[in-house]
A and B are shown apart, each in its own frame.
Chain A
Amino acid sequence: MATKKYPVIWLQGAGCTGCSVSVLNAVSPKIQNLLLDEVVPGHQLNLMFHATIMAGQGEPVIKVLKDTEKDRKGGYILVVEGAIPTAESGAYGSIGEKDGKHLTILKSVEELGSNALLTLAIGTCATFGGIPAAKPNPTGCKGVKEVFTENGISTAVVNLPGCPLHPDWFIGTISVLLFSGAQALDLDNLARPRLFYDQLIHENCPRRADFDKGKFAQELGDAGCLYQLGCKGHYTNADCPIRQWNNGVSWCVKAGSPCLGCVEPEFPDGTSPMYEKIAFEELTWSQK
């Protein structure tokens, strides 16, 4: 059976490359399998453009973007990492030069997004704006879905938030797409796959028993539930306590740190101050 190859264009907007680095930390499959092998039998990704990994630079790689958009119209997966600066017509961020002009992140996301099979917005910046969009949002940063809606782009967007996202959330979503197709992805009202974002941190937290008994840590480094120290696990939807991070070594609460709520649309403004308790009554409607 011939291998079916899916071209992937990975754009980096207003972000930190942390989501790329997180995907490099994938374990099964590893990043080398993602790049070179069939991820599931008969299906393979073909990473056409990724600024941190690809060999080329300058004009030839900008041409790859143009060619893929034209030749594989409706057949490539667009991955967006980082928010999209929209102020001043996108002048605060460009990914290269095209026809003698800055190719802004905004323009490239609009153009490539319009003709993609599907868009994966990865990390909280690309999904909801994240830190670059935090008050006072000096560069007018927005998430992919918002930019698509404003510009009438109908390409489907799957949101995989997290600061960064867990590599399993990316690979797991790709697995659903390759095995069963996009229609098989069960998304919540924020377009997040329920497979990974359906349970509260609080429900599966190993310190949950401390919460139930009223045993609260008063200072960082103390045993007990971290609620009084600002833990946002009671309204944060992710499977970190079960999955854990970095090949199952640890995760935030296990390391003695309150959950920052980094997968939520309100991160960071609605989850700050990070070390102060935020009661359920103080949450905004969308958080409840």
Chain B
Amino acid sequence: MVTKIKIDPITRIEGHLAIEAVIDDGVVKEAKSAGTLFRGFEIILQGRDPRDANRLTQRICGVCPTVHATASALCLDNAFGLGDKISDNGKLIRCLILGSNFLQSHILHFYHLAALDYVDAVGVVGNTAPFVPRYEGDYRVTGEANAELVKHYVKALDIRRKCQEMLAIFGGKMPHSVGIVPGGVTEKPTEDKITNFLWRLNEIKDFIENVYIPDVIAVAKSYDDYFSIGKGCGRLLAYGGFDLPTSRLFKAGVVSPDLKPETFAKENITEDVKHSWYADSASGKNPAQGQTKPDLKKKEAYSFLKSPRYKGQVCELGPLARMVSNYVQGDAITKELVDSVLGEFSAGVDALYSVLGRHAARAVEAKLVANAMVDWLLALKPDEPAITESKIPERGEGAGLAEAPRGAVGHWITIKDKKIDRYQVITPTAWNASPKDDKEQPGAVEQAIIGTKVKDKDNPFELVRIVRAFDPCLACSVHLLDAKGSELGVFRIV
């Protein structure tokens, strides 16, 4: 019996997403992931002062604006010829601002976006909105252990808020901070700010080590079948990120399905639009030549997301990609952290390619970033410069690549007559939640859903747990579609 399930909206993510899946004999045969909002940032940016891109692109996302501040600043540094002129203080403070956003985002994702799929909040706070309606039938943690997790949901609200307050020390405010600008940052470090930052960080670090990571492990032990659900496309991509004075925390790289690292080059990125509501003339282009022309009449289109590909191949981005990329490239600290968590389950690195693996990779990454932030903070040189003067060139081109909490982000600019001639942004969710490409290869989330056994089509926990593990940043709907097209049996919107 063939059934089509559509979940629209997918909630507890950032933005507008729908998912559609076709189930035959209880197994997903086809899946569509669809972005359902278009704002046209790239069109709005044309003709503006290039420096304004640094302010405006943050407003792409209120959950992770800081990475757009970072990527746009790197892009403008590049176009303004400042790439090698950023001071150590400037680099370190940029990383501290972005790092604070990482910790906020990872904690928010696990407790406030994902956890309600595993933790029985209703059992503690009662049958009340916004905790009902919900899917029923598979909440496996009970009694005191469940009550403890609900308590941590509330505690995590405080901790994530404190991450934002820590960010504001150098960032001014959050969301949409003001500290990161082309040439560096707006504020010099001072001893009082460093100490203030350090003690906020200590409290957050303590929570990550003693609450967040143990909670992820506890949930995983109750749902261990999810180590073999939602494997995905198997090819990982990281642009690399956290540019420090002499190194990077996250290594750039492509990891093949047999765990071999390959060198990454941004020129190999292209974007297809066959199944996106954009004019076909834009298909297959590198973002440096990219276009964004909406076309709502396209018959084969089902998403406002384009389909970014690397050498024509589908890739997954995010904490899983970064941790495995660092791991296979021999980063000792990453290896130790990853192995310590996997050791709890006597599992190898391949277990990370799963719903629970993505949560584990994210938690491990939070610890890695928090620990590193202490070193960055103590490397600051009080009262020494943090910004280099910048001038807008008549003409220029630039690219800025960075890592957001949910995966790699790229910004590309072309400047003419001191104004923005072209601006293109590729977000990690464009990769992960992309529709099929010109060669009909499904996107990373779609691939993770296809082949999944859905136990109860009225409560398709499997599908939403898979989608949320990617931490999508848009409202995505999962549509479960009919494998045999016209022979559609029952159509359900869940």
Task: Give B21-55 as 1s and 0s: 1 = Cβ < 8 Å from A's Cβ atoms.
Answer: 00000000000000011111101100111011001
In chain B, residues 124-174, which have Cβ atoms closer than 8 Å to a Cβ of chain A?
125, 128-135, 154, 157-158, 160-161, 164-165, 167-174
Which among B171, B177, B386, B493 is the interface contact of A59 at CB below 8 angstroms?
A: B493
* A18-B65, A20-B62, A51-B475 known; A58+B173 contact, CB < 8 A: no
B65 nearest in chain A by CB position: A18
> How far, in Å, is A282 (CB) from chain B's closest CB?
15
Which among B165, B387, B477 is the interface contact of A249 at CB below 8 angstroms?
A: B165
Instruction: Decide: A255 and B133 in contact? CB cutoff 8 A.
Output: no
CA distance A118 to B477 in the complex (A): 29
Chain B, interface size category, equals 35 or more
> How far, in Å, is B125 (CB) from chain A's closest CB?
7
Instruction: Decide: A47 and B129 in contact? CB cutoff 8 A.
Output: yes
CA distance A102 to B389 in the complex (A): 49
> How far, in Å, is B304 (CB) from chain A's closest CB?
8
Instruction: Decide: A24 and B63 in contact? CB cutoff 8 A.
Output: no
CA distance A211 to B389 in the complex (A): 22
Which among B154, B158, B172, B389 is the interface contact of A254 at CB below 8 angstroms?
A: B172
Does B294 make an interface contact (CB < 8 A)? yes
Instruction: Decide: A58 and B129 in contact? CB cutoff 8 A.
Output: no
A254 nearest in chain B by CB position: B172
Which among B52, B60, B296 is the interface contact of A16 at CB below 8 angstroms?
A: B60
The interface stretch among B6-14, B244-252, B318-326 is B6-14
Which chain A residues lie closer than 8 Å to B454 at the CB level?
Answer: none
Which chain A residues lie closer than 8 Å to B167 at the CB level?
Answer: 246
Does B98 make an interface contact (CB < 8 A)? no
B20 nearest in chain A by CB position: A97
> How far, in Å, is B256 (CB) from chain A's closest CB?
34
Instruction: Decide: B157 and A164 in contact? CB cutoff 8 A.
Output: no
Which chain A residues lie closer than 8 Å to B304 at the CB level?
Answer: 92
Which chain A residues lie closer than 8 Å to B294 at the CB level?
Answer: 92, 138
Instruction: Decide: A48 and B130 in contact? CB cutoff 8 A.
Output: yes
Which chain B residues lie closer than 8 Å to A20 at the CB level?
Answer: 62
Does B59 make an interface contact (CB < 8 A)? yes
Which chain B residues lie closer than 8 Å to A35 at the CB level?
Answer: 130
Does B428 make an interface contact (CB < 8 A)? no
* A17-B14, A92-B37, A97-B18 known; A249+B169 contact, CB < 8 A: yes
Which among B11, B62, B181 is the interface contact of A18 at CB below 8 angstroms?
A: B62
* A25-B161, A57-B9 known; A268+B52 contact, CB < 8 A: yes
Does A156 make an interface contact (CB < 8 A)? no
Which chain A residues lie closer than 8 Å to B448 at the CB level?
Answer: none
Instruction: Decide: A58 and B7 in contact? CB cutoff 8 A.
Output: yes
Which chain A residues lie closer than 8 Å to B18 at the CB level?
Answer: 96-97
A273 nearest in chain B by CB position: B49
Does A216 make an interface contact (CB < 8 A)? no
Which chain B residues lie closer than 8 Å to A138 at the CB level?
Answer: 38-40, 43-44, 294
CA distance A164 to B164 in the complex (A): 14
Does B113 make an interface contact (CB < 8 A)? yes
Does A55 make an interface contact (CB < 8 A)? yes
Instruction: Decide: A139 and B38 in contact? CB cutoff 8 A.
Output: yes
Instruction: Decide: A275 and B168 in contact? CB cutoff 8 A.
Output: no
CA distance A22 to B164 in the complex (A): 9
Instruction: Decide: A56 and B11 in contact? CB cutoff 8 A.
Output: yes
* A52-B11, A250-B172 known; A93+B36 contact, CB < 8 A: yes
Instruction: Decide: B387 and A220 in contact? CB cutoff 8 A.
Output: yes
In chain A, residues 73-112, which have Cβ atoms closer than 8 Å to a Cβ of chain B?
85, 88, 91-97, 100, 102, 105
Which chain A residues lie closer than 8 Å to B181 at the CB level?
Answer: 220, 257
The interface stretch among B182-190, B210-218, B371-379 is B182-190
CA distance A137 to B491 in the complex (A): 37
> How far, in Å, is A157 (CB) from chain B's closest CB?
22
Instruction: Decide: B11 and A61 in contact? CB cutoff 8 A.
Output: yes
Does B194 make an interface contact (CB < 8 A)? no
Which among A58, A85, A219 is the interface contact of B6 at CB below 8 angstroms?
A: A58
Which of A25, A93, A252 has the largest number of chain B CB atoms within 10 A? A25
Which among A25, A49, A53, A130 is the interface contact of B164 at CB below 8 angstroms?
A: A25
CA distance A132 to B40 in the complex (A): 7
Instruction: Decide: B168 and A250 in contact? CB cutoff 8 A.
Output: yes
CA distance A47 to B128 in the complex (A): 9
Which chain B residues lie closer than 8 Å to A17 at the CB level?
Answer: 14-15, 61-63
A93 nearest in chain B by CB position: B37
* A25-B174, A54-B11, A94-B16 known; A246+B157 contact, CB < 8 A: no
Which among A12, A36, A58, A134 is the interface contact of B125 at CB below 8 angstroms?
A: A36
Instruction: Decide: B6 and A252 in contact? CB cutoff 8 A.
Output: no
Does B112 make an interface contact (CB < 8 A)? yes
Does B56 make an interface contact (CB < 8 A)? yes
CA distance A104 to B170 in the complex (A): 39
* A18-B176, A58-B493 known; A24+B186 contact, CB < 8 A: no
Instruction: Decide: B52 and A12 in contact? CB cutoff 8 A.
Output: no
> How far, in Å, is A82 (CB) from chain B's closest CB?
9
Does B175 make an interface contact (CB < 8 A)? yes
* A36-B125, A61-B11, A131-B44 known; A97+B493 contact, CB < 8 A: yes
Does A176 make an interface contact (CB < 8 A)? no
Does A152 make an interface contact (CB < 8 A)? no
CA distance A273 to B53 in the complex (A): 10
16 A–B contacts, CB within 8 A, in A order: A14-B39, A15-B62, A24-B157, A25-B164, A25-B174, A30-B158, A47-B129, A59-B493, A85-B38, A100-B493, A131-B41, A132-B39, A138-B43, A221-B385, A221-B386, A250-B173
Query: Which are the 8 A-B pairs with shortest beta-carbon distances?
Result: A18-B62, A255-B172, A138-B40, A256-B186, A257-B178, A273-B49, A245-B173, A54-B130
